[in-house]
Structure 1
């Protein structure tokens, strides 16, 4: 990047950590407990490229159930082993912060889960945390961390792996960087028109820190 950002906001699940397999394994339990249709493996793959509201409609999940499902999923995540980080995650975060760029984490997951995965050294250097974001509530959390860190939206980036990350970034007027190694496939991400999209970690690191 030619201009040093005021702030880089990272998503956690599917962006920094490989937690997709955990949530897929949890899906049958969630389906039974909250009484929605369990999709086949083939359907799950196809749904990766669909907007969240379309997926909810297909599975028969009303909006009022989402907070309960999210609370239960976070509880199960806290009880699980630490999620594995994608290769190069700690090096990426270290390189960004070594450049003097503040880093925030905005996640639907619990802060304790994210801290456990990142470890105490990197976690202690994160400038702001805003976790427990709802399915469609990330824009509010983006605004919160920008306000706390006095970051200019025009000089703030959000890095995420889902269409809803792109939508939230666009809602608050910040640059969106999409990555393809998480939930949504690269074609679906590009169709949502992020400002930038990357297929691999080294390319993302080169873009963020040069």
Structure 2
């Protein structure tokens, strides 16, 4: 299990430079966790899945994304409906959701390196831009939004094709186990932030290429793998 910001590198990481970073949004760049917990019971009532008691939140952080869905008893066919409704709620309440404190500096400094930046999220592009603000949103070179909960891999492939960058030269960064799974499916390196949803134990069990404890760790890792 990796226990440092620059986890033990895979053969891909040792062989290829990083030219593209693909970020998740909620829980990675935006601090939306508390807001989501404030509406989860509303979602549970509307879509008839199990509510989350306050003392269950920490327990769920140690489960994989699929285990959380199973625990809540959410039918797969309901997931697109829930995602669509959630995007609408975010749009109405975007003013309540802030970026993590280190996000603005991270995007600015990363853009200055010349590494391309993309955003792949189940949230909408409009919501992401609203929360980012015009200045920070402009630093992102490509948006591929509205993915299904477990449908990030096709979005990753779209970004790679659009930007003309091989999977081996891209790093996907997220805060959930499904982000690692999707990156692996496409053949990209996977980095996991430890300030988002999933616990270090849950993420580390999947052995991502890097675990990031703070935004500076991302910059340091990319600097070590520049062209």
TM-score (norm 2): 0.88
Structure 1 vs Structure 2 CA RMSD? 1.5
SS at match of 1:64: helix
* Paired position in structure 2 for 1:122: 136
Structure 2 runs not aligned, ≥5 long: 1-12
> For this pair of structures, how many residues does the alignment match?
210
Which of the numbers 27, 30, 35 marks the counterpart of 1:22? 35
Stretch of structure 1 that moved more, 167-176 or 119-128: 119-128
Where relative contact order (Cα < 8 A, 6+ residues apart) is larger, the structure is 2
CA distance in 2, matches of 1:114, 1:39: 26
Partner of 1:165: 179
1:156 Cα shift? 0.4
Q: Which stretch shows the higher mean deviation, 47-56 or 91-100?
A: 47-56
- Unpaired runs of 5+ residues, structure 1, are none
Q: CA deviation at 1:143?
A: 0.5
Q: Determine the C-alpha separation between the residues in 2 that align with 1:8 and 1:52.
A: 22
Q: Does 1:64 align with 2:111?
A: no
Is the Cα contact below 8 Å between 2:94 and 2:130 reproduced in 1?
A: no
* 2:40–2:51 CA contact under 8 A, matched in 1: yes
Secondary structure (helix, strand or coil) at the match of 1:81 reads: helix
In the alignment, structure 1 residue 151 sits paired with structure 2 residue 165? yes
Matched, 1:75 2:95: no
Structure 1 stretch displaced more, 9-18 or 113-122: 113-122
CA contact (8 A) 1:95 1:209 kept: no
Deviations 1:29-79 (A, max 9, x none): 001000111121122221112122222222211100000000000000000
Deviation at 1:124, TM superposition (A): 2.0
Alpha-carbon separation, structure 2, partners of 1:109 and 1:117: 11
Say whether 1:206 aligns with 2:220.
Answer: yes
How far 1:126 sits from its partner (Å)?
1.4
Return the alpha-carbon distance in structure 2 between the equivalents of residues 125 and 191 of structure 1. Answer: 32
SS at match of 2:123: coil
2:44 match: 31
Contact 1:6 1:152 in 2 (8 A): no
Residues 1:6 and 2:6 aligned together:
no
Equivalences for residues 179-190 of structure 1 within 5 A:
179-190=193-204
**2:205 is the alignment partner of 1:191:** yes
Give 1:4 shift.
4.5
Confirm or deny: 8 A CA contact 1:104 1:127 kept in the other structure.
yes
Q: Under a length normalisation based on structure 1, what TM-score does the superposition of the two structures give?
A: 0.95
The Cα of 1:99 is off from its aligned counterpart by: 1.0
